[in-house]
Amino acid sequence: MTWQLSAFTDEAADSIDGQIEAALTAKLKLVDLRNVSKVSITELPIDAAKSIRDKLDAAGLAVGMFGSPIGKIDIADEFDSDLKRLRHLAELSPVLGTTAVRIFSYYNKADRDKGAWQAETLHRLSELRDLARKLGLVLYHENERLIFGDLCHDVKTIADALRDPDSFRMIFDFDNYNQSGQDTWECWQLLHDQTDAFHLKDSDADHQHVPAGQGAGQVEGILADAIARGWAGMLGLEPHLTHSAAVMSTGAHGSGNERLSDLSPRQTFQLAADAAHALLADISAPM
């Protein structure tokens, strides 16, 4: 049962050439495509995707996951735009060679009743799951700050209702739980049987982003426990050490690492990758 490490390389560079160079220097084999030349993966033209695939193939790299913004809108916003984004990713899937799509579960800016928020969220996610199944895609829900699936008991509500290995899986993001004021170990105890991927993103008690394993996210202990449980899946490096334009476009919470403020996004990405490799080696992760 092996683990696969990928990364959101737009945190290192905007262009695909820069992202490929950063991935190779970081000794990665997989990239998670979120933005290329400041264009969201959900808006990327087919011709541009073909060119990107050619460059990735030439570099010996593959796409691990589409880092889509699907579900990162308000519960009152129209839903068709998310369905349209998913259909476009289905067109990109055979071109870029992945079926995995990261998604979210809707904000509630008007503070609607929790029950209504939950019902509408599950309805939308159910439609997305059903469409993904028809399109041959697999959704991965991330526990983003302030969406419905933010706190771990609400993430479990989603998992209990919708998780399906063939079409709807769950991401465990250490940093987001920490920034939501939750104990990540307790979240892991609740969700270990319903976790299909990890985001290697960590932060300290002051919500400043730090390399994975160096913050309050209890990354090393949780990953070691995952090994003991025989867990296998994808790990996506999403360091946020530099709050660059690419990172801020995601609506990032917390802050970049002040001690690394003199370094470029490319340099902090490399630092994060080195820390991730060292951590995974220390715990003898089955890579």
Residue 249 has pLDDT above 80, yes or no: no
Q: pLDDT band at 259, cuts 50/70/90?
A: confident
The DSSP bridge pattern shows strands 197-200 and 100-103 to be unpaired
Here the CATH number for the domain that contains residue 124 is 3.20.20.150
- Tell me, yes or no, whether 137 lies in a domain: yes
- Tell me, yes or no, whether 164 lies in a domain: yes
| Percentage of the chain modeled with pLDDT above 70 | 97
Residue 255 has pLDDT above 90, yes or no: no
pLDDT tens readout for residues 67-76: 999 999 999 9
- Tell me, yes or no, whether 47 lies in a domain: yes
- Tell me, yes or no, whether 287 lies in a domain: no
pLDDT tens readout for residues 192-240: 999 999 999 999 999 999 999 999 999 999 999 999 999 999 999 999 8
pLDDT tens readout for residues 161-195: 999 999 999 999 999 999 999 999 999 999 999 99
Per-residue pLDDT, averaged over 105-129, amounts to 98
Query: How many domains in the chain?
Result: 1
Instruction: Give this prediction's pTM.
Output: 0.97
Per-residue pLDDT, averaged over 249-256, amounts to 70
Long-range contacts formed by 177-181: CB under 8 A, 24+ apart? 177/143, 177/152, 177/217, 178/202, 178/203, 178/207, 178/215, 178/216, 178/217, 179/145, 179/203, 179/207, 179/253, 179/254, 180/143, 180/145, 180/150, 180/151
pLDDT of residue 124: 99
Mark out the alpha helices in the chain (DSSP H runs): 16-25, 46-59, 80-96, 114-135, 152-162, 174-179, 184-191, 219-228, 245-248, 265-282
pLDDT of residue 129: 99
Q: pLDDT band at 258, cuts 50/70/90?
A: confident
Contact 138, 168 (CB under 8 A): yes
CA–CA dist 187, 189 (Å, integer): 5
pLDDT of residue 247: 67
pLDDT of residue 250: 72
Residue 257 has pLDDT above 80, yes or no: no
Domain that holds residue 197: 4-282
